[in-house]
Structure 1
Amino acid sequence: MSVKPEPVSALFAGPFALATLSAPDGPAFPALVTPDARVTDLRTALGDPRATVRSLLEDWDAVLPRLRTLAADSGADRTPLADLRVHAPIEPRQVFQSGANYRQHVIDLHVAHRAPGDDRPEAERRAEAAEIMDRRAAEDLPYVFIGLPSAITGPYDDVVLPDWAEQPDWELELAAVIGRPAHRLTPGEAPAYIAGYTIANDLTDRATVFRRDMPQIGTDWLRSKNAPGFTPLGPWIVPSESLAAPGDLRVRLRLNGETMQDESTKDMIFDVARMVAYASQTARLLPGDLVLTGSPAGNGMHWGRLLRDGDVMEGTITGLGVQRTRCVAEAAS
C-alpha cells in the first residue's frame, strides 16, 4: 500500500526531472516528468526499450542535452502522471551515507546524551559541543559509511517497522546522485560529477546503533539502518543545473502534520561537494550511486517521540518535491 502523492504544485524546480514510474501492474520505466505533471516514457523517446534511469546516468553527458530538448518540446507525446505509480527514482549500486554532518543536530545530541555525573549547565555543555564541531570542521574529516541498496523504497510506499526495532527514527537528507565515474576528486571537481539531487529519509533504529555486547567495535549500521524499506527515496532526480544553491536548501520533515525537522543545508559542517570528494578518495563512485549528506536537527530522539504504527512522514527539500510515507508495524503489515 501507499499514501497519496503531493499536489502538482509541489513537484520540483526546473523544466524536468527524472523518475521511475509504472502503469498499474506494468513494468517500471524511466520517465521525464515536466512541472505540469505530464510524463514522457524515455524508452520510446530515446529509442532504447531496455533503458533505465541508471543506464541514462551512465551516458549522462550525451543524454542530458536530449532530455532538455524533450522537455522543451510542447508537442511531445505525454501522459498524466496521476495515472502512474512512482517508484524510487534509481537503483544504485552503492549508497554512501554521511554521519554527524549538521552542526546544530550534533550539538543537540551532545547535550541530550549527557554523561552520568555531568551536572554542568546546558550552556556550558552546548559551548563544548560547538567547540568540538569547529575542531572537526578545521580538521576536514567527514564521516562516511556504507548503506545497502536493498533498503531503498519508493517515496509514497509504506515503511514497515520491524518487530525488533525498538526506537525507529527519521532522518531526512539531501542525496546527491552521481552522473560520471569518479575517483579521488577534489571538492572543486566534485560538482561536475553530480547529475542531480533527490530526497532520502535514512531511517535508523536508535536502539541498535551501538553494539552493547562489544562496545569496542562501535556502531552497527547494518542492523540499525538497513532493514528493507528503511530508505524512502525520491520522488524524482532533479538535475543539478536546476538547483542553483544546494548549499542553501530547506530540509523539512513533518510527522502527522507536525513539523519536526526544519533546517537549511547551510548548517552542514561539510558541504555536498566535500562529501562526494571525500567518498571518492577511497571508493570509485559509479553513475547512479547515492551520496546522502546527513540529517539536520529534529530527529525523534530529540523530541522523545519515535516512529510507530500509523505515523505518516512527509519530507520535502526545496526544489525536489515531497515524499509521503506511512509507517506500518511488521505484525500489522
Structure 2
Amino acid sequence: MWFALGTFDADDTAFPGLVVQDAVIDLRPSFGEGATVEGMLQDWDATLADLHDLADEAGDLPSVALDDLRVLAPLRPRQLLCAGANYFRHVRQIVASTLRNGGDERSEDDLQAEADRIAHARAASGTPFLFPGLPSAVTGPYDDVVLRGPGVQHDWELELGVVIGRTAHCIGPDEAMDVVAGYVIGNDISTRDVMTRPDLPMTDFIMSKSRPTFFPTGPYLVPRGCVPDPRELRLTLSVNGEVMQDDTVDDIIYGIEQLISYASHAAVLGPGDLLLTGSPAGNAGHHGNRWLAPGDVIDAEITGLGRQRNRCVAPPGEADTAPRP
C-alpha cells in the first residue's frame, strides 16, 4: 500500500500529515499536538509501524482534501549532503559543455571522447564526491525560486533524495539501506558562473547552491517500503513545458548504498538527515546554455514520489521581466 508523510499548512499552522490517495490525515491526534516529521523520524521504526496502521484505517479516519492545504517541504533536514557528478550521461554532458564554453577548439568527437574518459574515470576511482548544503536553502515543492545574484547562469538539477531514519557511522554498503527512512524529490538549483572563484582555486558551493529557496523539496517523504527498486525510478524535469531532464536512477555511478556508506565515514548520520544522490543528464549547459530566468516555471517529477512546480522570480525590488542572459 502506497502512503506518504508530509508537512502541511492550514490556517498558518504547520502540521504533519499522512497522505493516502488524495487525502491528508492530521497526525497530531496520534503523535501529539507538537508533532513534526523531524521528531517522528527520531524513532522511525515505531513511527513507521504506526503509519502502516493508520494507512490501513484511512477510510475510517477524518481527513482533509490535499487540494485544500498548502504543501510545505516535508522536513527541514538536520544535515544536507549532496552527491556531485554521479550520473554517467550527466558527467559526459557537463564535461563536454564546460570544455566547449571555455573555448576548447577540439572537434565535437574529441570533446565527447574526453567527456567519456572522465565519466568512466569517476566510476573507476571508487570514491563518490559529496559536499554539504545549507538546510536554510530548503523551500516547498510549490514555492517560488528567487533567482538571486551574484551570477546569472541559474541551472536546475533534479535529484532523488534519501532521508536517513537511524544513526549511522562507519557502516558498509551492505548495511546502508537499513538506515533509509524514505525518499523525497529535491531540485538543487545552482548558479554556474559563481561556482569557480577567481580569487581561489576552489569551488564555492555555498554561494552557488545554498541560497534561500534554491532547494525545492518534496512534496512528500515516501517510506522506503513503498519504493520497491529506487534504480527504476524515472526523473523528469521540464521548463515552461519543454522537457530538459528525463532519465532513470539506473544511470547512477555510485548507488544509494555506496553513497550512504561513504558519507557515514565522513560524518555521523542521523535521523532527519537528507542525502541527495546526484542529478541525471540534461542541465542548462547541454541545452545551449538555456539558463533559468524570472518567469520560468519548473515542473519536476520522480516516479511515485509526487510532483513539484516552482516559478522562478526576480529578487525583491528587481524587475520580474529581466531579460535572459
- Measured against the shorter chain, the TM-score band is over 0.9
Runs (5+) with no aligned partner, structure 2: 321-325
Equivalent in the alignment of 1:28: 14
Structure 2 residue aligned with 1:187, among 168, 173, 184?
A: 173
Give 1:89's aligned amino acid.
Answer: P
Name the counterpart of 2:276.
292
1:157-172 equivalent positions in 2, closer than 5 A: 157-172=143-158
CA distance in 2, matches of 1:134, 1:97: 20
**Cα separation, 2, equivalents of 1:290 and 1:325:** 20
Q: So what's the TM-score if we normalise by structure 1?
A: 0.91
The correspondence of residues 42-57 of structure 1 with structure 2, limited to 5 A, is: 42-46=27-31, 48-57=32-41
Q: Write the letter of the residue equivalent to 2:295.
A: G
| 2:68 corresponds to 1:83 | yes
What are the within-5 Å matches in structure 2 for residues 114-125 of structure 1?
114=99, 118-125=104-111
- Structure 2 length-normalised TM: 0.93
Unaligned runs of 5+ in 1: 1-13
Q: Please give the root-mean-square deviation of Cα atoms over the aligned residues, in Å.
A: 1.4
CA deviations on 1:127-158 (whole Å, 9 max, x unpaired) are 33223322321221000000000000000011
Describe the SS at the equivalent of 1:128: helix
Give the 3-state SS of the residue equivalent to 1:189 in structure 2. Answer: helix
Alignment of 1:83-232 (within 5 A): 83-114=68-99, 118-214=104-200, 216=201, 218-232=202-216
Q: C-alpha distance in 2, partners of 1:131/1:160? A: 36
CA contact (8 A) 2:98 2:285 kept: no
CA distance in structure 2 between the aligned counterparts of 1:190 and 1:98, rounded to whole angstroms: 16
CA distance in 2, matches of 1:129, 1:283: 31
Q: Write the mapping of 1:286-325 to structure 2, written as runs, cut at 5 A.
A: 286-303=270-287, 304-325=289-310
Q: State the aligned residue count.
A: 315
Q: Which residue of 2 aligns with 1:3?
A: none
CA offsets, 1:63-106, max 9 Å, x none?
A: 11110010010211212111111000001110001110011111
Q: 2: CA distance between counterparts of 1:177 and 1:286?
A: 9
Question: Given that residues 105 and 298 in structure 1 are in contact (C-alpha distance below 8 angstroms), is that contact kept between their aligned partners in structure 2?
Answer: yes
Deviates more, 1:288-297 or 1:158-167: 158-167
Q: Residue by residue, what CA displacement relative to the aligned partner does 1:92-126 show, whole Å, maximum 9, x if unpaired?
A: 11000111001111111221222767543322332
Q: Quick check: 258-267 or 127-136, which moved more?
A: 127-136
What is the deviation of 1:15?
Answer: 2.3
SS at match of 2:174: coil
Q: Distance in 1 between matches of 2:197 and 2:149?
A: 19
Give the AA of the match of 2:83: S
